[in-house]
Amino acid sequence: MTDTQWPRYVVLYQDREGNPHRYAGSVHAPDPEMALLNARDVFVRRPECVSLWVVPVDRIFAVTAEQLEEHPDLLAVLPEGSVQAAAYYVFQKIGARGLHSFAAEIEAHSSQEVLKLAVEKLPAKNIMVWWVFPAAEVHKSTPEDIQAMFAIAETKLYRDQGQYHTVAALRRIKEQKDKEHANNAG
Amino acid sequence: MRADLHEALSARLLAMADDELILGHRDSEWCGHAPILEEDIAFANLALDELGHAIIWYQLYAELIGRDPETLPDELAYQRPAADFQNVRIVELPKGDWAFTLVRQYLFDVYEAVMLEKMAESQYDLLAGAAAKIRKEEIYHQRHTSAWVRRLGLGTEESHQRMQIALDSLWPEALSLFQPLPNDEVLAEAWIVPRLADAQAAWEGQVRPWLTDAGLTVPGDVHAAGKRGQHSKHLAQILDDLQEVTRLFPDNQW
Amino acid sequence: MYGATVDPIDLTQQDDPQKLAEFEARIARGEKIEPGDWMPGEYQRQLIRMISQHAHSEIVGMLPEGTYLTKAPSLRRKLILLAKVQDEGGHGQYLYHAAETLGATREEMIDALLEGKAKYSNIFNYPALSWADMGAIGWLVDGAAILNQTMLAKCSYGPYSRAMLRICAEENFHMRQGQDIVITLATGTAEQKEMMQDALNRWWWPTLMMFGPHDTDSPNSGVLIKWGIKTKTNDELRQQFIDQVVPELLAIGLTFPDPDLHYDEASGHWITGPIDWDEFWRVVKGDGPMNKERLAARRKAHEDGLWVREAMAAYAKNYEAA
């Protein structure tokens, strides 16, 4: 058997109810459940998550604005044949500083068809990257998981840099020294 | 609180705190040495959580005996010799291979989950509150370690063998978790802490089927190995490490 | 298109001056290059080199701190150090990911590290000898890293820039907790102060070397700056760091192992004595105090973990639906 670092899963997180899921990074894991658990340990150390999704990286159909411009045939869709329609998620990265974020759920027969529909119908402008992948490929945390998996981070305040009042401490020490100097000089 | 309850509860809290401190220490030894990066991160998290639990129990112990919860935990961790620690032996054992660590962690996680579930309904409010809080983390731990146990139990011939070897040696050690302390009975009667026999039944009800489904053979009727408070040579070695700096430079604030 | 990564370098594209001009125009406009966009092979190569080195540094960096996880002298310090080490693993993880989007695989990167072919930041080839080293590493090493990473957050390659932003947000706590340790020791008992001074004496020069060779000796810098990968030179960052930490450490009563260190009124900068680059190159080439140990530790972890990785893969194959 060859030694591997296991397959990769892209990690998408939702920081608050109502906000779109966004791209966090990826984790290596042998299967979807371990990917979800690893994703929580790697990405949810600070309290800002209510939902986590993981999807195998090779299921993501990714196209950049530059590629679309150069290869318009990407939007030419093959005949469906007997392929069933399925739900796909569309993520977009908007602008230079944008993070790939959930844009829409579209039902179609292929990633390419979804991309075509998305390009035609979604209103956002200045899209730098499109991602399309089947909803069925996504392993998700559940609302019940919020307490056990995510809420805990709120209690671990030592990760907050504001807990270390070193700026104030340094200032106090400096003031003390300045006072001593003044006393010695006087 | 009645004097006998007070004494019994303080002994139990100290025992629980010591268990978590030493187990967290063993967990933290994996940092930088785990089989894959994601597990280095996961184990650091695990160690962090166990240490956090230890601190909570030490603080509760301090409250109970009228000492400062801000300073007593460090005193207990850094000033006591091995003989005064009240942990069970299973948490002292060297981390071994990954199978050993995971089996130990799994058996302990389920024990903790079972205890916490019942302690969340304790008549002693402070304990109920702490247990409810810690329980949330334990649910996550158990999900993680049980997933590992199943996968390694069923994975390859080699992983299966290592897991079985680990289980064979750890099962009797784990049973020591359920040996009551001298005064645990009064705590159980007062609905402060669950009866350990009940906890053991609940624990076996969970771990036996899970381990069996993971392809492992669970030992039949076995005696608990050792008694809580009876230590192996490993505890002294752990404390040599843990207390190294404070022994070299006593009476300092850190 | 599948996999959200950059395709392998197509060398036939490398001679296309028009594509190169468009690429450089995008960078000049402040656009981010994302996986899937055209990029010069050299850009891809440089980034994989830089990012994987950065990732390896985080991973190896867990080792000196790992030694003191078990020895932290208070429970609070233990918690903090554990959180820090967990973060560092996470940072390595984000960085490997960024390199993976460029087509590098983690198997290749790990193999390169363990075979001694890949570099990582020299600073982690120095041993952690006392508790005070944790303070020095936090304030100095992480402080230096923050300056570097803040600059790299403006990098033209999207995934690397995003990784840097995420890391920067978390790294501040690392520096602050280090500062907290240093201040506690430097203003503590005589023996604590001595411990801290000794640590500073050992970590000061290696930290300055973290910023890399002088600009005049840095062959990669030109193209890295042209393509928006770096926006400041080694010497610029190093000077920024020196000006930041020297007055603060002096103010708490610590001294520097540098008889030439002085403040230059004219330029408004703190000037150090000469850096011993011979030592730097010796350590880079593998002759530092801990080079062998660090790699040996990583190799052992990797080898010991082989049966685990294989078992998990086997389970997924046999028990999880395809």
User: Mind spelling out the 3-state secondary structure of A124-135?
Assistant: CCCEEEEEEEEH
Q: How confident is the model at residue C294 (pLDDT cuts 50, 70, 90)?
A: confident
Residues A109 and A180 grouped into a single domain: no
Q: How confident is the model at residue A107 (pLDDT cuts 50, 70, 90)?
A: very high
Can you tell me the distance from the alpha carbon of C322 to that of C317, in angstroms, rounded to the nearest whole number?
8
Place of tokens 């390595």: C92
Domain ranges, residue A17: 8-151
> What residue of B is the nearest CA neighbor of C297?
B33
Residue A3, domain member (yes or no): no
Q: CA separation (Å) from C259 to C182, C241, C273?
A: 22, 19, 7
- Distance (Å) from the alpha carbon of C232 to chain B's nearest alpha carbon: 31
pLDDT score for C4 = 67
Can you tell me the distance from the alpha carbon of C79 to that of C230, in angstroms, rounded to the nearest whole number?
35
Q: State percent of chain A over pLDDT 70.
A: 93
Residue A95 has pLDDT above 90, yes or no: no
Residues A61 and A87 grouped into a single domain: yes
- Distance (Å) from the alpha carbon of A28 to chain C's nearest alpha carbon: 9
Q: Which residues of B touch C195 (CB under 8 A)?
A: 249
Least confident of A103-107, B107-111, C170-174: C170-174
Residue C322 has pLDDT above 60, yes or no: no
Task: Let me know if domain B3-248 sits in CATH 3.40.50.300.
Answer: no
Residues A125 and A112 grouped into a single domain: yes
pLDDT, tens digit (0-9, with 9 covering 90-100), for B224-254: 888 888 999 999 999 999 999 999 999 899 9
Residues A17 and A83 grouped into a single domain: yes
Burial class (CB in 10 A: 0-12, 13-18, 19+), B87: buried
| Interface check A34 vs C, CB under 8 A | yes
Q: How confident is the model at residue A152 (pLDDT cuts 50, 70, 90)?
A: low
Residues A138 and A164 grouped into a single domain: no
Q: State percent of chain B over pLDDT 90.
A: 88
| Interface check C172 vs A, CB under 8 A | yes
Residue C12 has pLDDT above 60, yes or no: no
Residue A183 has pLDDT above 60, yes or no: yes
Q: State percent of chain A over pLDDT 90.
A: 53
| Whether the predicted model's global pTM rises above the 0.90 cut | yes
Residues A115 and A178 grouped into a single domain: no
What residues 89-128 of chain A have any CB closer than 8 A to a CB of chain C? Answer: 93, 96-97, 99, 128
Query: How many other CB atoms are found less than 10 A from the CB of residue B101?
Result: 23
Please report the sign of the dihedral spanned by the C-alpha atoms of residue B187, residue B193, residue B199, residue B200: negative
A22 versus C281: which is more confidently predicted? A22
Mutation site for B-interface testing, chosen from A28, A147, A152, A158 by largest number of B Cβ within 10 Å: A152
Residues A171 and A147 grouped into a single domain: no
pLDDT score for C306 = 96
Residue A135 has pLDDT above 90, yes or no: yes
> What residue of C is the nearest CA neighbor of B242?
C71
C235 versus A84: which is more confidently predicted? C235
- Domain map (residue ranges) of chain B: 3-248
pLDDT score for A175 = 86
- Distance (Å) from the alpha carbon of A106 to chain C's nearest alpha carbon: 18
- Residue C39 one-letter amino acid: M
Mutation site for B-interface testing, chosen from A5, A34, A157 by largest number of B Cβ within 10 Å: A34
Chains adjacent to B (≥3 CB pairs closer than 8 angstroms) = A, C
Please report the sign of the dihedral spanned by the C-alpha atoms of residue C215, residue C219, residue C225, residue C228: negative
Can you tell me the distance from the alpha carbon of C267 to that of C260, in angstroms, rounded to the nearest whole number?
16
Among the ranges A91-105, B199-213, C64-78, which has the highest mean pLDDT value?
A: B199-213
pLDDT score for A141 = 94
Residue A2, domain member (yes or no): no
pLDDT, chain B, mean: 94
pLDDT score for C218 = 79
pLDDT, chain A, mean: 88
Residue C127 has pLDDT above 60, yes or no: yes
- Residue C244 one-letter amino acid: Q
Q: Report the DSSP pairing between strands A8-14 and A51-56.
A: antiparallel
- Residue C286 one-letter amino acid: G
For residue B97, what are its two tokens? 């291979």
Contact C37 A97 (CB under 8 A): no
pLDDT, tens digit (0-9, with 9 covering 90-100), for A64-93: 988 888 888 888 777 666 678 999 999 999
Contact C310 A67 (CB under 8 A): no
Spell out the residues 6+ positions from residue C253 whose beta carbon is closer than 8 angstroms to its own.
C186, C187, C193
Residue A47 has pLDDT above 80, yes or no: no
- Residue B147 one-letter amino acid: A
pLDDT score for C14 = 63
Can you tell me the distance from the alpha carbon of C143 to that of C133, in angstroms, rounded to the nearest whole number?
14
Q: Which residues of B touch C89 (CB under 8 A)?
A: 31, 37, 40-41, 44
| Interface check A54 vs C, CB under 8 A | no
pLDDT score for C157 = 95
Q: What is the mean pLDDT of residues C42-52?
A: 92
Residues A114 and A165 grouped into a single domain: no
Among A30, A45, A62, select the one facing C4 at the smallest CB separation: A62
Residue A117, domain member (yes or no): yes
C9: left (phi over 0), alpha (psi -120 to 50) or beta: beta
Residues A170 and A144 grouped into a single domain: no
How many structural domains is chain A composed of?
Answer: 2
For B148-215, give the secondary structure using H, E and C. Answer: HHHHHHHCCHHHHHHHHHHHHHHHHHHHHHHCCCCCHHHHHHCCCCCCHHHHHHHHHHHHHHHHHHCC
Least confident of A151-165, C18-32, C291-305: A151-165
Residues A146 and A89 grouped into a single domain: yes
Q: What is the mean pLDDT of residues C197-216?
A: 94
Mutation site for C-interface testing, chosen from B37, B97, B243 by largest number of C Cβ within 10 Å: B37
Q: Which residues of A touch B37 (CB under 8 A)?
A: 28
pLDDT, chain C, mean: 90
> What residue of A is the nearest CA neighbor of C36?
A64
Residue A1, domain member (yes or no): no
Chains adjacent to A (≥3 CB pairs closer than 8 angstroms) = B, C
Q: CA separation (Å) from B253 to A159, B141, B239, C76?
A: 21, 33, 19, 12
For C234-275, give the secondary structure using H, E and C. Answer: HHHHHHHHHHHHHHHHHHCCCCCCCCCCEEECCCCEEECCCC
Mutation site for A-interface testing, chosen from B133, B136, B150, B154 by largest number of A Cβ within 10 Å: B136
Closest C-alpha to B199, from B187, B217, B216:
B187
Instruction: Decide if A28 contacts B37 (C-beta within 8 A).
Output: yes
Least confident of A10-19, A151-160, B62-71: A151-160
Chains adjacent to C (≥3 CB pairs closer than 8 angstroms) = A, B
Residues A178 and A128 grouped into a single domain: no
Q: What is the ipTM of this complex?
A: 0.94
Q: How confident is the model at residue A117 (pLDDT cuts 50, 70, 90)?
A: very high
Spell out the residues 6+ positions from residue A17 whose beta carbon is closer than 8 angstroms to its own.
A50
- Distance (Å) from the alpha carbon of C39 to chain B's nearest alpha carbon: 30
Residue C184 has pLDDT above 90, yes or no: yes
Residue A96, domain member (yes or no): yes
Q: How confident is the model at residue C6 (pLDDT cuts 50, 70, 90)?
A: low
Contact B147 A37 (CB under 8 A): yes
pLDDT score for A165 = 81
pLDDT score for B10 = 95
Contact A3 C106 (CB under 8 A): no
Residue C250 has pLDDT above 90, yes or no: yes
Q: Report the DSSP pairing between strands A101-108 and C269-271.
A: unpaired
Contact A170 C252 (CB under 8 A): yes
Residue C252 has pLDDT above 90, yes or no: yes
Residues A141 and A165 grouped into a single domain: no
Residue A17, domain member (yes or no): yes
Q: What is the mean pLDDT of residues C251-267?
A: 96
- Distance (Å) from the alpha carbon of C68 to chain B's nearest alpha carbon: 9
